[in-house]
Amino acid sequence: MSGGPGPVVVVGAGLAGLRAATALRDLGYAGGLTLVGDEPHPPYDRPPLSKEVLTGRLPAAAAELPLPSGLDARLVLGRAAVRLDRAARTVVLDDGTPLRYGGLVVATGASAAPWPGPGVPPERGVHLLRGRRDAVALRGALLAGGPVLVAGGGFLGCEVASAARSMGLPVTLVDPAGSPLEAAVGPAAGSFMAAVQADAGVDLRMGATVAELPDHRGSALLSDGTRVAARTVVLALGARPNTAWLRGSGLGLDPVSGALLCDGRRRALDHRGSPVPGIVALGDAAAAPHPFPGPGAPAHLALGHWSEAVDHAATAAAALLGGAPPREPGVPSFWSDQFGLRIRSVGVPRAADTAEVLEHDLPNRRLEVVYRRGGRTVGALTVGRTSRLAAHRRRIARGLAGQEVSTDSGIAVDRQA
Ligand SMILES: Cc1cc2nc3c(=O)[nH]c(=O)nc-3n(C[C@H](O)[C@H](O)[C@H](O)COP(=O)(O)OP(=O)(O)OC[C@H]3O[C@@H](n4cnc5c(N)ncnc54)[C@H](O)[C@@H]3O)c2cc1C
């Protein structure tokens, strides 16, 4: 495999891009390797941004990812890919530079979803959180004081609320669901975390959205007609895959999320669904076949988890080099640190039709939920019970390999939305 497709261009100098480049070298690829990133920074890790960097425990520079010795890659930073010409096997950069490739890795990640309404004047104190600059700007705003309004009760919004409360700031969290995290992990885990957040002093406004950003007096309007004081607003409204530069290339983009569709070997698909030679995709920019296909489940899924970028790097690199996957990628997993708790999940909780609560111990901050679809385990979540996850992970892995026997006990404690 040492010859490989050469030269390889990796677009996106983040976690997925760096891991794919490293995997190419690990598999013996010795040809030219270029990593293109539109941020001015070398590759860095995003999870600390909404945790240690916001609370000031780590400077943003500490999130930088180490570049492995022997990577021998050319880093082109501060330059965006704006077009893919598949016929010419060329990626065009925003300064007009054409980069010829024999193999292409699409690892352009995602961007924070913007405010859906009209343009936001910069002086309004409205923040997004995706990159290093965002984290530094938001940290500065939090240091200047509250109150803080967080729009969106997903993992990111909850981590921001946690960081702001740990700094003693008044925080209001607004989400259309019945409880925070509910859209991702269901109402049982959501109501547990709602209790944790209320205990930590978060003013939870569930079943509502931010209808209007704060006016000049710093008063935001919610969809339920109430007003909330906000000096800083954080929009945590989800993420959008960075694939606009691929439009017109004939590659298949998910009509809903915009993610680049790929097969299980991470080979990019064209608009007819056929794998395209010489192009692979991974990380937040890509949607892979749903691990638990079935009625109601989309054919492809972009999970947006750190582990997805890491676990699929070797598979993508092997596909680019024309080899077999080195090993089966693991069960999807996710973690979040908030309000002094570590939430961990395996599988795809949102693919479930029922959730069974195995332990719910609010005073001791312990929770264990197993998620099933058609009686088959598709996910599990723990708070303060990380050691329990391994068994669930094994059961999910057996299910993915088609070996799990239906375990439906008939106890449908919490029917998912
Ligand atoms: C604040 C935050 C906290 C998170 N916390 C957790 C967590 O606790 N647990 C967890 O499991 N996951 C977490 N995640 C998710 C995890 O960080 C992502 O899944 C992971 O970063 C995906 O890696 P990626 O390389 O695909 O994308 P990214 O990390 O976004 O990297 C993509 C890079 O490509 C660049 N790029 C985009 N378009 C172009 C272009 N056209 N040309 C060149 N470069 C381009 C981007 O600017 C970026 O630098 C968090 C994410 C964020 C934002």
Question: Is any atom of ligand 1 closer than 6 Å to the C-beta of 35?
Answer: no
* Alpha carbons 348 and 336: distance in angstroms, whole number: 15
Average pLDDT rounded to a whole number, residues 50-56: 98
% of the chain exceeding 70 in pLDDT: 94
0.75 surpassed by pTM:
yes
Question: Is any atom of ligand 1 closer than 6 Å to the C-beta of 19?
Answer: no
Residue with the bigger pLDDT between 275 and 412: it is 275
Average pLDDT rounded to a whole number, residues 252-273: 96
Q: How far is the CA of 46 from the centre of ligand 1 (A)?
A: 6
Contacts of 265 (CB under 8 A, 6+ apart): 275, 280, 315, 316, 318, 319, 325
Taking residue 356's Cβ as centre, other Cβ atoms within 10 Å add up to 20
Average pLDDT rounded to a whole number, residues 272-293: 95
Average pLDDT rounded to a whole number, residues 270-292: 96
Question: Is any atom of ligand 1 closer than 6 Å to the C-beta of 175?
Answer: no
- Encoded tokens for 92: 């065009």
Question: Is any atom of ligand 1 closer than 6 Å to the C-beta of 17?
Answer: yes
Question: Is any atom of ligand 1 closer than 6 Å to the C-beta of 81?
Answer: yes
Cis, peptide link before residue 98, omega less than 30° from 0? no
Question: Is any atom of ligand 1 closer than 6 Å to the C-beta of 306?
Answer: yes
Average pLDDT rounded to a whole number, residues 261-273: 96
The yes-or-no verdict on residue 1 having pLDDT over 70 is: no
The yes-or-no verdict on residue 235 having pLDDT over 80 is: yes
The residue to mutate among 306, 308, 312, 336, having the most atoms of ligand 1 within 8 angstroms of its beta carbon, is 306
Residue matched to tokens 């111990």: 361
What pLDDT is attached to residue 123?
66
The residue to mutate among 15, 54, 138, having the most atoms of ligand 1 within 8 angstroms of its beta carbon, is 15
Residue nearest to atom 7 of ligand 1 (CA): 47
* Alpha carbons 6 and 120: distance in angstroms, whole number: 44
The yes-or-no verdict on residue 417 having pLDDT over 50 is: no
Look at 2-11, 47-56, 281-290 and tell me which has the smallest mean pLDDT: 2-11
What pLDDT is attached to residue 335?
97
The yes-or-no verdict on residue 122 having pLDDT over 80 is: no
Contact (CB, 8 A) for 45 and 16? no
> pLDDT per residue over 58-87, tens digit each?
999 999 999 999 999 999 999 999 999 999
Contact (CB, 8 A) for 48 and 71? no
Residue nearest to atom 42 of ligand 1 (CA): 80
* Alpha carbons 348 and 121: distance in angstroms, whole number: 38
What pLDDT is attached to residue 6?
76
Instruction: Compute φ and ψ for 228, nearest 5 degrees.
Output: -130, 135
* Alpha carbons 208 and 201: distance in angstroms, whole number: 19
Residue nearest to atom 53 of ligand 1 (CA): 130
**Which atom from ligand 1 is nearest to the alpha carbon of 16?**
25
> pLDDT per residue over 340-358, tens digit each?
999 999 999 999 999 999 9
Residue nearest to atom 20 of ligand 1 (CA): 306
Q: How far is the CA of 15 from the centre of ligand 1 (A)?
A: 7
Residue 172 to residues 203, 205, 336, 403, Cα–Cα distance (Å): 5, 7, 20, 45
User: What does the mean pLDDT of the chain come to?
Assistant: 93
Q: How far is the CA of 224 from the centre of ligand 1 (A)?
A: 33
> pLDDT per residue over 130-158, tens digit each?
999 999 999 999 999 999 999 999 999 99
Contact (CB, 8 A) for 254 and 287? yes
Residue nearest to atom 1 of ligand 1 (CA): 50
What pLDDT is attached to residue 413?
40
